[in-house]
Structure 1
Amino acid sequence: MQVEVFRRSVSVRTSILEDLDAYPRTSRRSRATPSTAKSPFGFVVWLIGQSIYVLGTLCPWCLVVWLTTLPLFFIVTARNLREGVFGQRARRVGAVLWPWITLVTVAAYLVVAVLAQLRLNVLASIV
């Protein structure tokens, strides 16, 4: 069930990024509700925890999911904020947040890399 929600959410978010004007504001708001916006992000956080702390390895498929879902989540959320989907206050927050999306994404990748290094000592196994 979780994977199906994740798959649908990623496909909807990708189509929104391709043509934002094709979706009315109310549709974008309903697609940004917790069930679709936070579910893939929560699933990725769960995958990160399972991979690093339970399995004790970096699963290549999990890495692909992390690399695609994290920026997708940050970009779509910031864009919805910037476009005013959640109101005028959110529009101001989105306008401030939008230029920093790349940095936020890189910071999220760095957090995962640091967690993996602290737990798995990945660099020692590479060399």
Structure 2
Amino acid sequence: MTGSLARALGMAEHARVLLVGAPPAFDLGELPGDVLVTSALPDTPNPGAGEESWDVVLAFCDDRPALEAALPDLVRSVAPSGSVWIAWPEGGLDPDAVRVEARGHALIDGGESVEVVPGHTAARFRPEP
């Protein structure tokens, strides 16, 4: 059985997962088989460079400037059929602002959100076809 957070984020066997700016103690819980998880600091330029596209990208953005800076690289990193999850702390970002910024970078609102750590909500987006 896989952990509920991994399931909620859409992780399946053999998924490639990129975490950007995750808190130090962040834990996805039990993962499906053969999942590759890579972490990057929030200021890492083009965090997915040199790799194939990622199935799941989870980025932690504390404020709108951090979100605006991260989005171009997140969009380049995700597979066409993958998901970009943008997480922010309570009071850090307005959910509507997250949607507007994501839409401006060719990401479609996936209509899902999940609490990834206490006090941090993540919303799901997909690349435009």
Higher relative contact order structure (alpha carbons within 8 Å, sequence separation ≥ 6): 1
- Structure showing greater Rg: 1
Q: Which has the higher helix share?
A: 1
Shared fold (TM-score, shorter chain, > 0.5)? no
TM-score by length of 1: 0.26
Q: Which has the higher strand share?
A: 2
